Structure 1
Amino acid sequence: MTAPVLTPRTVWGQPQPLDWLCLAPHPDDAEIGAGGTLIRLARAGKAVGILELTRGEMGTQGTPEEREAECVQAAGIMGLTWRGQLGLPDGAVADTPAYAHALAAALRLVRPRVLAVPHWRDRHPDHFGAYHLARRAVHLAALKKAEVPGEPWRVGRTLLYQGNADVSANVLVDVGSVMDDWERAIQAHRSQFSGGYVSETVTPEIIERRRGRLTYWGTLLRVKYAEPFESEEPLLLDPGDL
Structure 2
Amino acid sequence: MTHPPLLPFQTVYGAPQPLDWLCLAPHPDDAEIGAGGTLIRLAQAGRAVGILELSRGERGTQGTPQIRVQECARAAVLMGLSWRGNLGLKDGELADTPAGAHALAAALRAVRPRVLVVPHHRDRHPDHFGTYHLARRAVHLAQLRRADLDGEPHRISRTLLYQGNADIQPGLLVDVGGVQAQWEAAVRAHASQFTGEAVSETVTPEIIERRRARQSYWGTLARVRYAEAFEAEDALLVDPLAL
Could you state the TM-score of these two structures normalised by the residue count of structure 1? 0.97
1:69 maps to 70
Superposed, 1:1-242 pairs within 5 Å as: 7-242=8-243
% identical aligned pairs:
73
Q: CA deviation at 1:6?
A: 6.9
- Secondary structure of the residue aligned to 1:84 is strand
Tell me how far apart the structure 2 counterparts of residues 145 and 239 of structure 1 sit (CA, whole Å).
40
2:55–2:90 Cα contact (<8 Å) kept: yes
Amino acid at match of 1:35: G
2:38–2:228 Cα contact (<8 Å) kept: yes
Q: CA deviation at 1:221?
A: 1.1
- Secondary structure of the residue aligned to 1:22 is strand
Structure 2 portions without partners, runs of 5+: 1-5
Aligned length: 238
- Secondary structure of the residue aligned to 1:220 is helix
Could you state the TM-score of these two structures normalised by the residue count of structure 2? 0.97
- Secondary structure of the residue aligned to 1:53 is strand
2:28–2:56 Cα contact (<8 Å) kept: yes
Amino acid at match of 1:46: R
Q: CA deviation at 1:130?
A: 0.1
Structure 1 portions without partners, runs of 5+: none
Amino acid at match of 1:20: W
Tell me how far apart the structure 2 counterparts of residues 107 and 184 of structure 1 sit (CA, whole Å).
28
- Secondary structure of the residue aligned to 2:241 is helix
Amino acid at match of 1:153: H
Tell me how far apart the structure 2 counterparts of residues 240 and 19 of structure 1 sit (CA, whole Å).
25
Amino acid at match of 2:215: L
Q: CA deviation at 1:26?
A: 0.2
Tell me how far apart the structure 2 counterparts of residues 13 and 133 of structure 1 sit (CA, whole Å).
25
Tell me how far apart the structure 2 counterparts of residues 189 and 120 of structure 1 sit (CA, whole Å).
25
Tell me how far apart the structure 2 counterparts of residues 110 and 232 of structure 1 sit (CA, whole Å).
21
1:171–1:228 Cα contact (<8 Å) kept: yes
- Secondary structure of the residue aligned to 1:160 is strand
Tell me how far apart the structure 1 counterparts of residues 158 and 142 of structure 2 sit (CA, whole Å).
13
Q: CA deviation at 1:238?
A: 2.4
Amino acid at match of 2:53: E
Alpha-carbon RMSD: 0.9
Tell me how far apart the structure 2 counterparts of residues 122 and 45 of structure 1 sit (CA, whole Å).
31
2:12–2:69 Cα contact (<8 Å) kept: yes
Tell me how far apart the structure 2 counterparts of residues 226 and 41 of structure 1 sit (CA, whole Å).
14
Amino acid at match of 2:162: Y
1:162–1:228 Cα contact (<8 Å) kept: yes
Tell me how far apart the structure 2 counterparts of residues 232 and 150 of structure 1 sit (CA, whole Å).
25
Q: CA deviation at 1:237?
A: 2.0
- Secondary structure of the residue aligned to 2:89 is coil
Runs of 4+ aligned structure 1 residues displaced above 4 Å come to none
Tell me how far apart the structure 2 counterparts of residues 232 and 21 of structure 1 sit (CA, whole Å).
15
Tell me how far apart the structure 2 counterparts of residues 49 and 40 of structure 1 sit (CA, whole Å).
13
Tell me how far apart the structure 2 counterparts of residues 240 and 45 of structure 1 sit (CA, whole Å).
25
Tell me how far apart the structure 1 counterparts of residues 233 and 116 of structure 2 sit (CA, whole Å).
12
